[in-house]
Amino acid sequence: MTKRVTIWALVLLLSASAFLLDACRKTDKSPVPAITSMTLEVPPGFPPPENIFKDNPITREGFELGRRLFYDGQLSKDGKFPCASCHQQFAAFSTFDHALSHGVGNQFTIRNAQGLFNLAWHREMHWDGGINHLEVQPLAPLTAPNEMGETVEGVIAKLNADSRYREMFRAAFGDETINSQRMLRALSQFMGMMVSAGSKYDQVKQGRAVFTLAEQSGYGVFQAKCASCHAEPLFTDFSFRNTGLPLNTSLKDMGRMRITGKREDSLKFKVPTLRNIALTAPYGHDGRFFSIGAVVDHYRFSVIDGPTTDPLVRKRIGMSSNEKADLLQFLQTLTDNAFVNDKRFGQPVE
């Protein structure tokens, strides 16, 4: 309740200041359209999200601006690599079928692109947790030479030259000023609103569907052998762990250690969510696994017991072929078809 009141107070304040600003500007006398507030719906059973919208109240206008930016090639150097080129909705916003994604000049990234959803619950992002706020995340792909290869100034100049954007920034933030903070806030509003909690698993939890016998038995296997890291309901505990994968000698990715510089973090990667897992192949931080079954077989047969290998997997995870088959059935129930077909998150129509 109080949250809603503050948001409204903010909206009023914003529109009031926008009105005053507008009154002073001689060039543009048309009234600023009303700003419509939106709220992040917390699905039943989910913990409270991170407070990422504290200084960035979500509005319909900000969200729509973020959506346009997400799908706009102008954010990349050669115009061909919008965020959406590597984060495709039908693949739950991961890169479909690619171990590594490619960006400007056909250069490859060193990591597999995660799906994008339920980001408001993530305190740290990227496989090594190198990003600690959704609002600053887009700076990484924007400026990476092998992703979008642009500069912030370059993007801002392009957006400023586009009257449509000037209008959208005004609608979202009260005046036509286009700057990096506003661009990042709009992107953060769009991405932060992407919530995926409409899978069969969720319906079962809410008593609106039932698992098949195989799914139910697979759920048991999951809870016994996987849930300590891939914790429900988000299917990750957000920790960094080494699951005993051999180092890819060409990429030499040391994971979390790249950020903390600590040897004990060597080869640790963020526990990925298993929601929508059937849609986000290939798997692992470098996309080395082409099927979920292959990941499961890694845990069963090929975990390397190194100095930082997690105690939970060090002895490998034993299961019969039947248990594996049931587990795979269960993991299929984590697919949220409504989310990947949700038009609110799709490419804006002109």
List residues near ligand HEC by CB under 6 A: 75, 81, 83, 85-87, 101, 103, 109, 111, 113-114, 116, 119, 125-127, 137-138, 141-142, 147-148, 187, 191, 225-226, 228-230, 241, 243, 245, 269, 271-272, 274, 277, 280, 283-285, 292, 295-296, 299, 310, 312-313, 317, 327
Contact 165, 178 (CB under 8 A): yes
At its nearest, how many Å lie between ligand HEC and the CB of residue 122?
A: 6
At its nearest, how many Å lie between ligand HEC and the CB of residue 118?
A: 9
At its nearest, how many Å lie between ligand HEC and the CB of residue 44?
A: 23
Phi-psi region of 177 (alpha: psi -120 to 50; beta: other; left: phi over 0): beta
At its nearest, how many Å lie between ligand HEC and the CB of residue 106?
A: 10
At its nearest, how many Å lie between ligand HEC and the CB of residue 128?
A: 6
Nearer residue to ligand HEC within complex by CB, 59 or 309: 309
Q: How far is CA 44 from CA 47, 202, 220, 338, in A?
A: 9, 9, 22, 17
Whether residue 31 is preceded by a cis peptide bond, meaning omega within 30 degrees of 0, is no
Nearer residue to ligand HEC within complex by CB, 59 or 280: 280
Nearer residue to ligand HEC within complex by CB, 32 or 193: 193
The type of residue at 89 is Q
How far is it, in rounded angstroms, from Cα 262 to Cα 87?
A: 31
Nearer residue to ligand HEC within complex by CB, 28 or 162: 162
Tokens 């059935």 label which residue? Answer: 329
Nearer residue to ligand HEC within complex by CB, 170 or 241: 241
What residues contact 192, with CB distance under 8 A and at least 6 apart? 40, 52, 53, 58, 119, 120, 134
